[in-house]
Structure 1
Amino acid sequence: MNWIELRALDNLYSNGEVKINDTLAKSGEISYLINSLRTLDRTHDKLFVLEGFAELYEKDYLEKYHCYETFLSDNGLLKPQLRFDESDIQILIGIKENMDNGNLEPLREQIIKNEATVRIVSLMFFKNEKYLLGKEALINAVKLLLDIDELADDKDLQYKYVLECINPRCIVLCENIDFLKRPTLARANNIELWYAGGKNVNKLDFSDTRGLPIYYSCDWDYDGLFVIYPLVINKIKTIQLLTPNGSPKGIKETEHNSKWENIKDRNIEDLLTAHQLDIMENLIKSNQWIIEESCDLIEMINNY
């Protein structure tokens, strides 16, 4: 079972019914309680309790649910989107207990000293080197309980991708990796391309532009302009924002997740030219965005 199923069972115990979501509809545990034990039933959109459920819940689920809930809450892990498996929570509880009694301190020091990766930590605690891969929330929980800031391959602190060329005349930092996958044009025009990974800009603290002009190419949407660009310019003071020349696309039509409505009080007027401000304001007004890879990279640079 995962936390969503456990929480649903507790809600059923407290309220007698709960709305069905995709996780509950596919749950083997819920199916067992409906079809084998007959302590739950369902309509097309709800689960509700039958006779015997309360006694069963008190016997098999109540104590461990409150144990898990207390642990997750006390350690700042109880969030609405939480999806940890029950076995994950049990392992995290074990990590916390062994940290508190000092048993894990030598291992923690070894993890830090040897710059252990996610795979190594996964093997240490989850018996499978691939188990933690892609499970950002669970990785963060392990780091929190071990009191470790970063693992060796945390993507924000490591390498950037570079498309090199002979005798570069400038560098372009790209928000997305698409331009780097098309090397011929950039190399033919003596342009070196960098890709740091969207918002993952901490690695730029270690970058050397070698005195070359450096430009920033991005999606012209909320994330690209209001989130990532200010982070980038804080790392590389001399970077200049390229003005897009691609065709705007509707945010709703393209089902894009970076919405202008998130702007609120954020202000980047001082970072844009008057022409760039006009483009941005027109995009906001028409609820559109410009995709980075739809732009002509060479033309954007030459226009500078």
Structure 2
Amino acid sequence: MNWIVLKALNEIYNNGFTVMRSTLLSDIDIQFLLDQTGELKLGINRINEGPGFKEFYTKNHLKNFNSYLSFLGANELLTPQIRFQESDIKILMELKNGMDSGDLLPVRDEIIIAEETVRGVSQMFFKNEKYLEKSESLTSAVKTILNIDSLANDKDQQYKYVLQCEKPEKIVLCENLDFLKRPSRPRKHNIELWYAGGKNIAKLKFSGEITLPIYYSCDWDYDGLHIYQIVKKILPQIRLLFPNGASKSIIETEHKSFWKPKGHDDSLSGLDPTFFNDQEKFLIQNLISDNEWIMEETNDLIEMVETIG
């Protein structure tokens, strides 16, 4: 649901109607309220409140809308042109909280030092590396929240991001950025975190001599484990952390990494069995069988490291 729809629903709640627009009539949420529940009604050149709409809106949207409105206004992002998705606003709010708490400052500083690209920042915080390229206003909002003047326009990433600690004893290379945004626990346990940018791992060839034990944390899906195989070829000493988070349905979570169809003698969805021990292969086979995956950030990082250690 985008901001235009969110604002229109709030207008209906406050005024009993909103002006009819094609963008509203084509929205699936508006269509559902019009055609399925009857909580909205079509009028002449407007969309009217229907029976039960106020109760529905109060329960599902009012609190969230007020928080979005307050956030956008406070950060000077509330312009007539914005078309942010609700999920985009939630991410921006999360970034703001991370900046205010200080947890995100090391990542922000690394982005500046590395002269990071739009694609690089997009891959860190949004659905994929191309997501921010579709919206100049959203890219501008991210720069505003992170207090960054500019992002590079090239499409190459040459830097890895490091969450340092005073006396590092271990290194964990993370597929995603989430653990680096929560620095207190890994620092307390003397764990240095690296983030190379998902699939953009060729830069690891230039890491130099690694004297500490190094581990890999990832989504347990096809893409995450496939990336691990490539990382393992670059850093043969790296060890895969075994997850402790709960698995979720790929379909229900609308996840975009799918297990490959099985071949006659393939039980690991095309993954190379020589990269995995028996315990890991057993879990992968179960995930494939149930069409599920394990999100990296649902794991307890410290527990994973201590278990393998």
Normalising by structure 1, report the TM-score: 0.50
- Which is greater in Rg? 1
